[in-house]
Structure 1
């Protein structure tokens, strides 16, 4: 009983540490475009309500962020099916999370503008990240039957830099990671039952079916974990056939495989349903980035492997490499690689010793297979389908649990056997803690898009002009128009992220979504501001004004509306944004 109490207290410590790490820096990073999509669809709102080809105030652009009392789960599902490409479970949960939280904790969940707060929209993902800690303990215990390994696995999940990165995004990857852990736990329970010639209980079978269903309804890539599971189970079935069921009591083997077959059939039916949905959206322009950004030549062969290697390293160790002086960043990167190599060496030594124990060999082999299956699935998407998904590090949630389990297994063997090996475990936990602080304080795993840097450049330019023209004149108060070419709501969310950040800085601006019909194969047409925009902008903007073009190709038809590039400022280029400033004076009458 005392031992159970100690294990429970240790697990509560890891959960408390994860809660602190995730929560203390949850709002430090600004919202980026994908998070705005999460907010809008979680509220059951629509991007189609935002006018196109019309000058908008920030309140108009950010209107879909307001909570609508008339929405429901059905509304959320309808918006996702008609405007987006994601399955609904996370958005349903987030819908309830935001609405319930706004009623009970309005100071935490409501922003001054009436939209959900940054804490509100990210806290569900952080909560799921905390739940991954005890789930990881359960997976490690089921697999190894070692409390030392289970505690180390829970600790590694609590301080994982990559895990913190997922948990601090208003996205569904933390929840998807939780389903992966629970699915692997169910699978390992079945594998251990086969090893011991026992039936898996019915509740395990039905729980496994439910977890697979929820995982698929959270992220389509969850289906990739079935690859390794099916391969291992088929090999075990082959062993039974080859030995003519001699290791089973009479009729028991068929009973075991009938329960596994029930799970397989139910999961296959569920997979076919979502496959039909996926085929209906697979040509959506929202997911074409995985193809248009694909590398060519030698990079197409090397980059996926490097991306997965780097992603795996950051699951246990990451030192400050971003927003630091270049020399410090290079040194931190080199130290990160050295630490990773030492961890790999220690883990391999430990796993080789574990392989000597015959009762552990099957479970260890299954864990390695689960890791290999996730990696092979991601590489197939790159090499086989010509996509470039491995550059999206968030998709590495598929192999995060398997990798951490192997690290814990290799470093956290029973103290009575190899007490000194716990020094490795403590060292890796400390490195993980440093990595979590690195990510939380924006020195690593920065947001994919950096709207705050463009907003800062806009505000800095306005302040510079105001200082140069003080006392203020008409030119110092010239309005700002921020325009972007429109194709999908992906462009809308980028403007929304700028509008949100400028609103926090109390910098007024107006916005324009320019619906271009040109194709990438027609570069001349893409370098033209649309004729409608050439009419709307002069008609609705008071001269003089400043124009910021976001993510346009270089335009060559702005002279007719009196806009000339501001050469003193130049092009501002950061992750996700290319901003070109222009000064616009009323053109002479012709």
Structure 2
């Protein structure tokens, strides 16, 4: 037998046979967590409606772009969906060139998407949404074993963490480290936030993978420098390359690189203050300085592209001034996104009893979580534990930098949960390590009248995480601000004739938004339901047309193409304006405003019934 580890209360726990420990240390247990993570990530992968940013990923990944779609004239859904069809004549070089001209993102993920979609979609075929999302889901699954191995290495150097605990025997340390590593793997597999990011055809899971790798290098360098050893050129080269790949995936990875610099800077300051500043002139710190200069040079090479992206019209929506009444919203939103990395229950657009019940349950679970990890965190920070301090800086650093960006009018990065991918791996790493340590310790835990063990509390938290992931997979959590499925439910439920959808175009963002509407309509026809049975392909009710009005300085000039189309359109038809403001007076053209029966969709919808001839 392995022996017994006596916790802080003097209790003893049999930790299992050598065979059991060998199993949990083996790759089979990690494979189990990875398969569980794959199950929740691939569950209902194509069921959720597409978003405009996913449409952008597909279109730019195929190298098609959206600049060729016609404005100010009627277009069919088939014509709108041309950018989402595989064209074998479009190569990778053209894909990258078109991305640079029309988007604000670096090319790495889109290059991978280009090859992925060409392999899995026949030439000329319309890309299936589940196929497009599967690349991100697969990358999200790979983060689970990567996070486990990082957590296992880190846990080996952090045990014991518990406040006041006796030092475990050398034979028990690997067992405690395994509990901590499996706590991280379980949380990575079941995190509602992680599942949400993995079920989008976007680049966030690839960026999360790079973050795990580069923080492994950062923590490895911190550990070696703390021991007076050089980080090593091999680690330095891998570190620089990893950060280069992360910047080639998403520019916001610069926040993570800055946090890594803060962690190294804190260690330099701490060693210089405690051991004398001359230590920074030794070989270990000279090597670290060379690595840091390479990192700075690498980031500087990307600065022109980052500056262009930050000044683009496509990113103008995050550069909104906060009113005094809104100053507290960004930190509150950031805290809410942090909570969803561990637990989530349906609270968005649900009946009031469901919202109240979910909110109460979430608060109870978050209270339990804080009660479990709070003492351990304070214990780690109270001691000279450089790795624990570096991990804390990795979590808090990007948050502080985001708040600085928000309050200096550079952009509100708290408005969308997807931007929190920068610190997601570190949050899960910190929380998972603490949960695993509590489970290994098995110290009695009491909160109010509730009493239990760390293991039972860990299981409860993981069950709530699983429920949150299930809610996300079924589109009950992380709802999009614009819900194109509900838009079509409203249009199909209220239209009596073929619908004509009119939208206003300022940037490529509005074009891809219109493409997303057509994409969802196509998906709905391919998957009829009992409430929406299949119709003949030429049925007028299933043949919507689209009109994208080009932006014009004069309102009359902007509406002239609409007036021309309405006059020429065969009657009767239903006209729907999408995000057009203000409302239009179309009675002169034989179109009357229909009565409103609004349901939240995220769009500004107005319905007109055009039955009479234009006067």
2:605 paired residue number = 579
Match of 1:534 in 2: 563
Contact 1:323/1:442, CA 8 A, preserved across alignment:
no
- State the number of aligned residues: 550
Pair 1:82-2:106 in alignment: no
Write out the 4+ residue segments of structure 1 that deviate beyond 6 Å after TM superposition. Answer: 245-248
Q: What is the match of residue 470 of structure 1?
A: none
CA distance in 2 between counterparts of 1:572 and 1:532 reads 29
Say whether the 8 Å CA contact 2:583–2:606 is kept in structure 1.
no
TM-score under structure 1 length normalisation:
0.88
| Equivalent of residue 422 in structure 1, options 452, 455, 458 | 455
Q: Distance in 1 between matches of 2:257 and 2:614?
A: 67
1:374 equivalent in alignment to 2:403? no
Paired residues of 2:267 and 2:386 also in contact (CA < 8 A)? no
Tell me which residue corresponds to 2:42. Answer: 23
Which residue of 2 is the match for residue 350 of structure 1?
Answer: 376
Residue number among 487, 490, 515 corresponding to 2:506 in the alignment: 487
1:458 corresponds to which of 471, 487, 491: 491
Is the CA contact (8 Å cut-off) linking 1:479 and 1:509 kept in structure 2?
Answer: yes
* RMSD of aligned Cα (Å): 2.3
Aligned ranges for residues 106-255 of structure 1 at < 5 Å? Answer: 114-145=125-156, 146-242=177-273, 243-244=275-276, 254-255=282-283
Task: Give me the TM-score of the superposition, normalised by structure 2.
Answer: 0.85
The answer on 1:99 being equivalent to 2:118 is: yes
Partner of 2:408: 384
By how many angstroms is 1:285 displaced?
Answer: 1.2
Deviation at 1:560, TM superposition (A): 3.2
User: What's the CA shift string for 1:277-301, capped at 9, x where partnerless?
Assistant: 1222322211111124x541221x1
Where does 1:264-303 land on structure 2 (aligned, <5 Å)? 264-292=292-320, 294-299=321-326, 301-303=327-329
Report how far residue 32 of structure 1 moved.
1.5
Equivalent residue for 1:6?
A: 24
> Does structure 2 retain, via aligned residues, the 8 Å contact 1:228–1:370?
yes
Match of 2:419 among 369, 377, 395: 395
Q: Is the Cα–Cα contact under 8 Å of residues 481 and 512 in structure 1 kept in the other structure?
A: yes
Distance 1:582 1:296 in 2: 36
Secondary structure, aligned partner of 2:110: helix
Deviation at 1:493, TM superposition (A): 1.8
Moved more, 6-15 or 33-42: 6-15
Q: Secondary structure at the match of 2:187?
A: helix
Distance across 2 between alignment mates of 1:556 and 1:319: 41
- 1:485 is paired with a residue whose SS is strand
Aligned-partner Cα distance in 1 for 2:115–2:440: 47
Q: Are the counterparts in 2 of residues 485 and 552 from structure 1 also a CA contact under 8 Å? A: yes
Bigger Cα displacement from structure 2, 1-10 vs 120-129: 1-10
Partners of 2:431 and 2:591 in 1: CA distance: 59
Q: Does structure 1 retain, via aligned residues, the 8 Å contact 2:499–2:545? A: yes
SS at match of 2:46: coil
State whether residues 272 and 278 of structure 2, in contact with CA within 8 Å, keep that contact through their aligned partners in structure 1: no
Runs of 5+ consecutive residues of structure 2 not aligned to the other structure: 1-17, 157-176, 444-452, 526-541
| Structure 1 residues 548 and 529: CA distance shift in structure 2, 3 A | farther
- C-alpha deviation, 1:267, in angstroms: 1.9
After superposition, the Cα gap between the structure-2 partners of 1:290 and 1:416, relative to the gap in structure 1 and judged at 3 Å, is closer
Matched, 1:498 2:517: yes
Separation in structure 2 between the aligned mates of residue 422 and residue 278 of structure 1, nearest angstrom: 45
Q: Which runs of 5+ in 1 are unaligned?
A: 466-477, 519-524
Distance 2:207 2:514 in 1: 28
Asked if structure 1 preserves the Cα contact closer than 8 Å seen for 2:592 and 2:609, the reply is yes
